[in-house]
Amino acid sequence: MSNEVVTNKQLYDFITRCGRCAQCTYGYKETEFELVCPIYKRFNFFTYSLGGMAQLARALDEGKIGLTESVSDVFYHCTGCGACGEMCARVDFRDMVELQHELRAKCVEVGQVPIAHMVTIEGLKKDDNMLQKPKAERGKWAEGLGVKDVTKEKAEVYYHAGCQYCFDEELWTVARTAVNLLKKAGVDVGIAGKDETCCGGRAFEMGYQGEFIKYAESNMEMLRTAGIKTLVTSCSDCYYAFKVLYDMHGKKGDLEVFHITEYLDRLIREGKLKLTKSVPLTVTYHDPCHLGRKIEPWIRQEGKLKAGEIYQPPRDILNSIPGLKLIEMPRIKGNAWCCGAGGGVIDAYPDFALWTALERIDEAKSTGAEAMITACPWCKRNFSDALKEGNGRLKIYDIVELVEQAL
Binding site for another protein (CB under 8 A): 69, 104-105, 108-113, 115-116, 118-119, 121-122, 125, 204, 207-214, 217
Minimum distance of another protein from residue 219's CB (angstroms): 12
C-beta of 253 vs 308, nearer to another protein: 253
85 CA to centre of own chain: 16
Contact between 298 and 384 (Cβ < 8 Å): no
**E strand spans, 92-155:** 148-149
Minimum distance of another protein from residue 63's CB (angstroms): 14
- What distance separates the 2 farthest-apart alpha carbons in the chain? 64
Minimum distance of another protein from residue 4's CB (angstroms): 10
Contact between 139 and 161 (Cβ < 8 Å): no
Residue 101 to residue 98: CA distance in whole angstroms: 5
Minimum distance of another protein from residue 95's CB (angstroms): 17
Minimum distance of another protein from residue 365's CB (angstroms): 32
Residue 120 to residue 108: CA distance in whole angstroms: 13
134 CA to centre of own chain: 23
Minimum distance of another protein from residue 121's CB (angstroms): 7
Minimum distance of another protein from residue 208's CB (angstroms): 6
C-beta of 210 vs 323, nearer to another protein: 210
Residue of 313, 316, 321, 320 lying closest to 279 (CA atoms)? 321
Residue 82 to residue 96: CA distance in whole angstroms: 7
Residue 68 to residue 74: CA distance in whole angstroms: 10
C-beta of 167 vs 397, nearer to another protein: 167
Cα dihedral 222, 225, 230, 236 in deg (nearest 10): 0
Residue 401 to residue 397: CA distance in whole angstroms: 6
Cα-trace Rg, the chain: 20
C-beta of 109 vs 188, nearer to another protein: 109
Minimum distance of another protein from residue 119's CB (angstroms): 5
C-beta of 182 vs 241, nearer to another protein: 241
C-beta of 108 vs 181, nearer to another protein: 108
Contact between 341 and 289 (Cβ < 8 Å): no
C-beta of 104 vs 259, nearer to another protein: 104
Minimum distance of another protein from residue 91's CB (angstroms): 22
- Helices of type H across 193-349: 201-205, 209-225, 236-240, 246-248, 260-269, 312-319, 345-348
C-beta of 106 vs 148, nearer to another protein: 106
C-beta of 134 vs 186, nearer to another protein: 134
C-beta of 121 vs 338, nearer to another protein: 121
Minimum distance of another protein from residue 307's CB (angstroms): 22
Residue 337 to residue 331: CA distance in whole angstroms: 6
Residue 290 to residue 292: CA distance in whole angstroms: 6
Which residue type sits at 95? D
DSSP string, 360-402: HHHHHHHTT-SEEEES-HHHHHHHHHHHHTT----EEEEHHHH
